[in-house]
């Protein structure tokens, strides 16, 4: 696995949003989607920050970081046993990107 950087992290997070159809309410259970929608918003904020295109600061960035960490916990991204075997490498790479991004957001 290559060293994570802002460009790679942004690309992986965008791919995750797309692969898991996080902007499509119909792809998710009704009671689950508000959390997914909030997470997608946090991911998009994070991508903007990684690309240097966000004016948000402080509390907004910390809230986005917290949402990302809550998503990691809620969906077991840090528990490879919870994922289909063929998805584990992608999940691990996106988890690395999220952890990298959380560190950037908390700076």
pLDDT (tens digit, 0 to 9) for every residue of the chain, 107 residues total? 458 999 999 999 999 999 999 999 999 999 999 999 999 999 999 999 999 998 788 899 999 999 999 999 999 999 988 899 999 999 999 999 999 999 999 98
Please say whether the beta carbons of 17 and 45 come within 8 A. Answer: no
pTM, full prediction: 0.92
Residue ranges per domain, the chain? 6-105
Please say whether the beta carbons of 57 and 106 come within 8 A. Answer: no
Residue 2: predicted pLDDT: 59
Residue 43: predicted pLDDT: 98
Q: Distance between CA atoms of 104 and 100, rounded to whole angstroms? A: 6
Residue 96: predicted pLDDT: 97
> Computed over its alpha carbons, how large is the radius of gyration of the chain?
13
């Amino acid at each position: 696995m290559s060293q994570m950087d802002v460009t790679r992290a942004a690309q992986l997070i965008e791919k995750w949003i797309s692969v898991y159809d996080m902007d499509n309410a119909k792809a998710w259970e009704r009671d689950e989607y508000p959390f997914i929608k909030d997470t997608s918003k946090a991911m998009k904020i994070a991508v903007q920050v990684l690309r240097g295109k966000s004016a948000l600061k402080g509390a907004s960035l910390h809230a986005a970081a917290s949402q990302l960490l809550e998503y990691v916990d809620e969906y077991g991204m840090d528990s490879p046993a919870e994922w289909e075997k063929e998805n584990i490498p992608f999940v691990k790479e996106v988890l690395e990107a999220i952890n990298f991004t959380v560190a950037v957001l908390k700076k």
